[in-house]
Amino acid sequence: MKQFFVAFIATALILQGCASSQNSGGTTTNPTAPKESYNVNSKQVEKYLSTISIPFEVTMADVARQINTNVKDLVFEDNSMDDNNYDNFMCKVWKREDIVVTAQNETFNFTVPLKVWVKVGYKVLGMQIPAQELQFDFNVKFGSKFSISPNWDANVQSFPIGYDWIKKPVVRLAGYEIPVTTLVEKALNSRQGVLLKALDDAVKKNVEIKKYVVQAWNTSMQPYMLSEKYRTWLKVTPVELQMTPLTTINNKVKATIAIKAYTETITGNKPSIQPVSTVPDLKVVQQVPDDFQVGIIAEIPHSEAAKLTADTLVGQKFSFKEGKYNVSVTGVDIYGSQDKMVIKAGLQGSVNGNIYYKGVPTYDPATKSIYLENFDYDLETKSLLLKTANWIFQGKFNKSMKEALTFQIGGQVDEMKKQIQANLNKPVSKGISLNGNITELNPDKVYLTPNSIIAVIMAKGKLNLKVDGL
């Protein structure tokens, strides 16, 4: 009787355990969690090669004003009366009025009003005339080819065009005025090279391009705040200088200097820079590309992504096989495994325990969202479910999970673009301003850190740096 009673009690306990198991939903899952690991341990610095354009335009009025300011009244002086070709010739040349400058076919044309004093001895009709002093006015015309050497020095090559006589030189002989224009022109022509060189030197001395380029180079290196909210900075590291050939349009000289530079998007404190006193040699190119680009960084912490997913899924009940099986989501956690995102989902019902999904986070520019590409169960989870609960593959549970794991970042992207656009159109310092325009946004990459999902969107456009006086 005692043995029978013990057997009865044991059987009852077993039946109670079975009933308990049926009431709890039956199948329990406990797959091994995928190992947490990351390709990068912190937010990366996004670095791109870009071009910052510095267009400059010089009107001939500006050139004339600069030259007239620096070309003194006495342009040329020759106090020697000894010359192999023209004996007894002395000369002084003054600027009579302002020099007029025009531009045509990539050439500067100068009209220089001059007052000339000469002391010259010559022969007229075979008669030796004692040296006489003459004064006359004329305009000398010459052209100049202007270029910039690789070391940023101005090169000027002038050539004569001719004279316009305002007051012709004459001598008095026996009560008659005898024009000696031809003789004076020959004398002046012999010294024309010296006169042109004096004017060229004046232009070279007063056209200092390099100091402006150094100023623009240092200005371009200044970190620019892209987003105060996200503490994001644009750092520019120049590496090369280019310039298009000078062209003349509507009496203006135009060209574009380009700074080839790496643009970096950096979060945190303002980056430090070290100003330079010299710049690389100039490279002449036919065209400057408009390819400024900067990375827009959008960030979603893992905790925020898990909360957003849980808000959608936790508490939802999913039915399978016309209600034969049911599961509810009890919790969601998210972390990284190399380049894949791991989603740990707790289930209760016909399946109890944890299951694991994996997917590659990818940016969708059409919806401005991050979604999981190649979204599927982790291999061990899938193998276990195929053996114990293959019905779970036939419902909408997987689709609902994938949809809940789509994260909208359009607000961040739009705000960053707006702030970049604003910060690329403002004065930098006195006489220097930025003028930029973001024209397109393209997906670059998405990666995982131990704390966040990072999406990088490349913002492309144009960026000009205007330097007054260049």
Domain residue spans of the chain: 59-207
Q: Among 2-6, 115-119, 268-272, 382-386, where is mean pLDDT lowest? A: 2-6
CB hemisphere CA count around 341 (13 angstroms):
32
Strands (E) located in 168-279? 170-173, 176-179, 224-227, 232-243, 247-249, 252-267
Confidence of residue 292 (pLDDT cuts 50, 70, 90): confident
**Residue type present at position 80:** S
In angstroms, the CA 282 to CA 315 distance is: 67
Element containing residue 12 per DSSP (H, E): helix 2-24
Tell me the two tokens of residue 205.
């001395």
Tell me the two tokens of residue 331.
């919790």
* Residue, of 54 and 124, whose pLDDT is higher: 54
- Write down the pLDDT at residue 89: 67
Closest CA to 31 of 345, 402, 391, 405: 345
Mean pLDDT value across residues 400-429: 85
Closest CA to 244 of 147, 133, 317: 147
Q: Among 11-25, 81-95, 405-419, where is mean pLDDT lowest? A: 11-25
Closest CA to 266 of 40, 39, 46: 46
Percent of the chain with pLDDT over 90: 30
The whole-chain average pLDDT of the chain stands at 82
Closest CA to 25 of 377, 347, 385, 357: 347
Percent of the chain with pLDDT over 70: 86
Confidence of residue 257 (pLDDT cuts 50, 70, 90): confident
Closest CA to 279 of 241, 222, 243, 244: 241
Mean pLDDT value across residues 279-305: 88
In angstroms, the CA 140 to CA 399 distance is: 86
In angstroms, the CA 435 to CA 428 distance is: 10
Give SS3 for 24. helix
Give yes or no for residue 307 having a pLDDT over 90.
Answer: yes
* Residue, of 239 and 432, whose pLDDT is higher: 239
**What is the CATH number assigned to the segment(s) 59-207?**
3.15.10
* Residue, of 54 and 191, whose pLDDT is higher: 54
Q: Among 68-77, 124-133, 348-357, where is mean pLDDT lowest? A: 124-133
Give yes or no for residue 363 having a pLDDT over 80.
Answer: yes
Give yes or no for residue 115 having a pLDDT over 60.
Answer: yes
- Write down the pLDDT at residue 132: 74
Residues 6+ apart with CB under 8 A from 192: 160
Confidence of residue 373 (pLDDT cuts 50, 70, 90): very high
- Write down the pLDDT at residue 351: 93
Q: Among 52-61, 78-87, 129-138, 343-352, where is mean pLDDT lowest? A: 78-87
- Write down the pLDDT at residue 52: 86
Eight-state DSSP code of residue 394: G
- Write down the pLDDT at residue 181: 78
Eight-state DSSP code of residue 87: S
- Helices and strands: H and E segment counts in the chain: 9, 25
- Write down the pLDDT at residue 125: 58
The string of pLDDT tens digits covering residues 150-207 is 988 888 888 888 888 888 877 776 666 767 777 677 767 777 777 777 767 766 776 6
CA 42 from centroid of its chain's CA atoms = 25
Tell me the two tokens of residue 270.
């303002």
- Write down the pLDDT at residue 88: 61
* Residue, of 228 and 314, whose pLDDT is higher: 314
Closest CA to 241 of 203, 195, 210: 210
- Write down the pLDDT at residue 402: 93
Give yes or no for residue 4 having a pLDDT over 50.
Answer: no
* Residue, of 261 and 127, whose pLDDT is higher: 261
Confidence of residue 84 (pLDDT cuts 50, 70, 90): very low
CB 203 within 8 A of CB 67: yes
Confidence of residue 342 (pLDDT cuts 50, 70, 90): very high
**Residue type present at position 336:** G
CA distances 167 to 131, 134, 179, 362, 393, Å, are 20, 11, 11, 82, 105
Q: Among 5-9, 100-104, 143-147, where is mean pLDDT lowest? A: 5-9
What sign does the dihedral 449-451-455-460 (CA atoms) show? Answer: negative
With b for 16 or more beta-carbon neighbours within 10 A and e for fewer, the 210-240 pattern comes to: eebbbbbbbbbbbbbebbeebebbbbbebee
In DSSP terms, 46 is beta-bridged to: 265
CB 378 within 8 A of CB 314: no
Phi-psi domain of 338 (left: phi exceeds 0; alpha: psi -120 through 50; beta: other): left
- Write down the pLDDT at residue 347: 94
In angstroms, the CA 96 to CA 106 distance is: 27
- Write down the pLDDT at residue 9: 43
Question: Apex CA 44: angle with CA 43 and CA 45, to 5°?
Answer: 125
Mean pLDDT value across residues 360-389: 94
Mean pLDDT value across residues 5-12: 43
State pTM to two decimals.
0.67
